[in-house]
């Protein structure tokens, strides 16, 4: 059985972790910042040093290529991302990119002739300091001018970042690749949750990536004098918002055990000790891997209206975001399971509660993901860690699954 070179993988992983390193551990590589761009240059240099071809597309996605003997062969994409949230760990995204590169080198060194080209790809701005899934949406044709017009990281920041990277919005919108040229997509990633470590399992075979919806809900009552307005004459907007926050938790725990919902922000106006709140606006987000998003949306928005009505408030709802859930491909999952079995590892099927580039790719090509345990379930923090043995296991599963998909194992 063909294995990755664990020492070479480790040297790459450590070197990459020094780019954008933080004094207290971890890294910071926000999209199109100096550290992010340096990491991407480093990736291309490592690919060239291994004798691989490289390319950068109009969305700034950086790739290493191992071409097939047949120039018409389709391409199996293996990838993840080198950008990070502003204060991040060394594993999120980075592990998947260095493992993908190592898979190409292992296949090349073994002299295997595959019916597919292999491409290790570093997608632009997965973690969303600017847009989120920017490179993968561009590649799959899901990116729209509307998305670019209101990016979550700010429009001015996006424009400045694209200019620093030498990219254009027109280029991004035209970066779609013909899916007929793709054979599939596989991504190795850390779990970013506690399940695998808690249950002592080596590998998570991802079944689906959850969908999410987000809303701003403004509860409006009347701003009144806090001393002269009797309790029974108040229309306290924050009280309505608070009852709604409690109801969200209760409803999801009781009736939607396979879903999660979060109120992550509240703003109160006018916001003073001596004024009854006239308006309270909450940020609501909920996620589900199955088909329950519609039912949950209906239930939670009805609850907001009910809590508002009980206090003579109004509740105005603005839709903010919507990510569809993505089912990952059965054949790709079977290839991952076969690789796990051959390596003598343990695995479970599991959904991903976090978003990943694979959810964009799943819309156009058979896609799969391999999870490895996160120590303590911690992620998006400098203390994020995966044991080195688990990293190597994940890279070997990625290699084994890729060979199976290519019919070469
Ligand atoms: Zn990630």
DSSP 231: G
Residue whose structure tokens are 């938790």: 249
Instruction: Give the integer Cα–Cα distance in Å for 247 and 239.
Output: 12
Interval between CA 390 and ligand 1 midpoint (Å): 17
Interval between CA 333 and ligand 1 midpoint (Å): 19
Interval between CA 259 and ligand 1 midpoint (Å): 21
Interval between CA 110 and ligand 1 midpoint (Å): 29
Interval between CA 174 and ligand 1 midpoint (Å): 24
* Residue ranges with CB less than 5 Å from ion ligand 1: 92-93
Query: What 3-state DSSP class applies to 79?
Result: strand
In sequence order, the 6+-apart residues with CB closer than 8 A to the CB of 93 are: 80, 81, 82, 83, 84, 126, 127, 189
Interval between CA 266 and ligand 1 midpoint (Å): 27
Instruction: Give the integer Cα–Cα distance in Å for 63 and 122.
Output: 6
Interval between CA 242 and ligand 1 midpoint (Å): 33
Angle of the 94-109 helix axis to the 6-17 helix axis, nearest 10 = 150
Query: What 3-state DSSP class applies to 82?
Result: coil
Q: What are 81's two structure tokens?
A: 């991302």
Interval between CA 260 and ligand 1 midpoint (Å): 19
Instruction: Give the integer Cα–Cα distance in Å for 188 and 318.
Output: 35
Rounded to two decimals, the pTM is 0.88
pLDDT of res. 321: 80
By the 10 Å C-beta count (0-12 exposed, 13-18 middle, 19+ buried), 210 is classed as buried
pLDDT of res. 284: 96
Q: Which helix (H) or strand (E) holds 347?
A: strand 347-352
Interval between CA 220 and ligand 1 midpoint (Å): 38
Q: Before 270, cis peptide (omega within 30)?
A: yes
Kind of pairing between the strands at 117-123 and 62-66: antiparallel
pLDDT of res. 409: 61
Phi, psi torsion values for 306, nearest 5 degrees = -65, -45
Interval between CA 356 and ligand 1 midpoint (Å): 6
DSSP 58: T
For 286-350, the three-class secondary structure string (H helix, E strand, C coil) is EEECCCCHHHHHHHHHHHHHHHHHHCCCEEEEEEEEEECCEECCHHHHHHHHHHHHHCCCCEEEE
Interval between CA 137 and ligand 1 midpoint (Å): 15
Tens-binned pLDDT, residue by residue, of the chain (409 aa): 999 999 999 999 999 999 999 998 999 999 999 999 999 999 999 999 999 999 999 999 999 999 999 999 999 999 999 999 999 999 999 999 999 999 999 999 999 999 999 999 999 999 988 999 999 999 999 999 999 998 888 899 999 999 999 999 999 999 999 999 999 999 999 999 999 999 999 999 999 999 999 999 999 999 999 999 999 999 999 999 999 999 999 999 999 998 999 999 999 999 999 999 999 999 999 999 878 999 999 999 999 999 999 999 999 999 888 888 999 999 999 999 999 999 999 999 999 999 999 999 999 999 999 999 999 999 999 999 999 999 999 999 999 999 999 987 6
């Amino acid at each position: 059985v063909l294995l990755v070179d664990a020492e070479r993988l480790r040297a790459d992983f450590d070197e990459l972790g020094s780019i954008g390193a933080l004094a207290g551990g971890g890294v910071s590589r926000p999209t199109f910042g100096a550290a992010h761009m340096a990491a991407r240059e480093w990736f291309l240099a490592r690919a060239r040093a291994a004798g691989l071809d490289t390319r950068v597309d109009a969305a700034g996605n950086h790739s290493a290529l191992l071409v097939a003997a047949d120039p018409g062969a389709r391409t199996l994409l293996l990838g993840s991302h080198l950008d990070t949230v502003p204060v991040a760990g060394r594993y999120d995204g980075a592990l998947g990119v260095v493992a993908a590169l190592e898979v190409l080198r292992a296949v090349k060194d073994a002299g295997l002739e595959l019916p597919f080209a292999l491409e290790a790809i570093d997608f632009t701005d997965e973690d969303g300091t600017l847009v989120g899934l920017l490179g993968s949406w561009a590649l799959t044709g899901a990116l729209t001018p509307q998305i670019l017009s209101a990016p979550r990281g700010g429009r001015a920041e996006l424009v400045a970042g694209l200019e620093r990277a030498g990219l254009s919005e027109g280029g991004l919108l035209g970066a779609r690749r013909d899916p007929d040229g793709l054979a599939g997509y596989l991504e190795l990633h850390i779990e970013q949750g506690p399940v695998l470590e808690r249950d002592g399992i080596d590998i998570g075979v991802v079944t689906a990536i959850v969908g999410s919806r987000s809303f701003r809900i403004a509860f409006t009552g009347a701003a009144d004098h806090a001393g002269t307005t009797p309790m029974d004459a108040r229309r306290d907007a924050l009280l309505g918002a608070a009852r709604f926050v409690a109801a969200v938790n209760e409803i999801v725990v009781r009736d939607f055990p396979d879903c999660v919902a979060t109120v992550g922000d509240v703003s109160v106006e006018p916001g003073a000790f001596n004024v009854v709140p006239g308006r309270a606006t909450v940020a609501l987000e909920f996620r589900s891997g199955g088909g329950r998003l519609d039912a949950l949306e209906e239930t939670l928005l009805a609850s907001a209206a009910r809590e508002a009505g009980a206090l003579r408030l109004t509740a105005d709802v603005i839709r903010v975001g919507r990510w569809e859930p993505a089912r990952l491909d059965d054949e790709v999952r079977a290839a991952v399971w076969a690789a796990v079995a051959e390596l003598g590892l343990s695995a479970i099927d599991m959904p991903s509660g976090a978003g990943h580039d694979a959810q964009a790719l799943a819309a156009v090509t058979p896609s799969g993901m391999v999870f490895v345990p996160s120590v303590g379930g911690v992620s998006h923090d400098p203390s994020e860690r995966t044991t080195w043995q688990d990293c190597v296991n994940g890279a070997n599963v990625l290699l084994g699954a890729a060979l199976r998909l290519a019919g070469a194992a």
